[in-house]
Amino acid sequence: MSVPVFVIDDMTLDDIAEVQEVEQASFTAPWPANAFRHELLQNKNARYIVARDRGRIVGYAGLWNAVGEAHITTFAVHPDARRRGVGRRLLLRIFELTEAIAKEIGTSVALTLEVRISNLAAQRLYEHFGFRRAGIRRRYYSDNEEDALIMWTDTIDDPALRARVAKIRDKSDE
C-alpha cells in the first residue's frame, strides 16, 4: 500500500463536483453545489480549501473571517480517507489562514465551529487542536434536529495554542 501524499490547495470552481462527492458521502443534509459556488464567487470573507490525495479530493474545509473570529463553516473528510491524517492537515492549514487573517486585520482572532453532539471523532480531533466546548445550539441540524456543540480556541496568538499547533505540525512533518 502506498503512503498517501496530501496536498492542501485553495478550492476552485473546478473542484466543486469532487467536493460534492465528499459532501454527499459525509452528510445526510449536504450543502448543494450552488452554496459552494456562491461562497467562492460572492463571499469576500470566505476561504475554502481542499485536500488532495494523488490528485483526488478527499477532504475540504471552509472558513469565514468574522470580526474577531475565524468561523469554520464546513469541514469534511471522505469516509474512505478518514483516520489517515487528512483532517489534521486541513486544520493545520486553517490555523495558518487564521494567523494570516489576524495579521491582516491587526487584531487577535479565535477559531470557532459547531459540530454534531454525536460526532465524537471530530470532537476529539478539534480538542487535540485546542478547541474547547463552549455551549450547545439546540436542534441546530435541520436533517434530524440534532444539537450542535459550539467549540472555541484561545486566540491565535496565545502562546500555549501556538505551541500546541507547532507540536502537531512537527509530528505531521515526520
Domains of the chain: residue spans and CATH: 6-173 (3.40.630.30)
Cell numbers 441546530: residue = 140
The model carries a pTM of 0.92
Among the listed residues 18, 69, 114, 146, the single catalytic one is 114
Side chain identity, residue 56: R
Cell numbers for 147, please give them.
444539537
Cell numbers 480517507: residue = 81
174 part of the active site: no
Among the listed residues 96, 104, 126, 174, the single catalytic one is 126
The pLDDT-based confidence of 3 (bands split at 50, 70, 90) is: low
Cell numbers for 95, please give them.
490555523
> What is the DSSP code (8-state) at residue 39?
H
141 part of the active site: no
The pLDDT-based confidence of 142 (bands split at 50, 70, 90) is: confident
Q: What is the pLDDT of residue 1?
A: 41
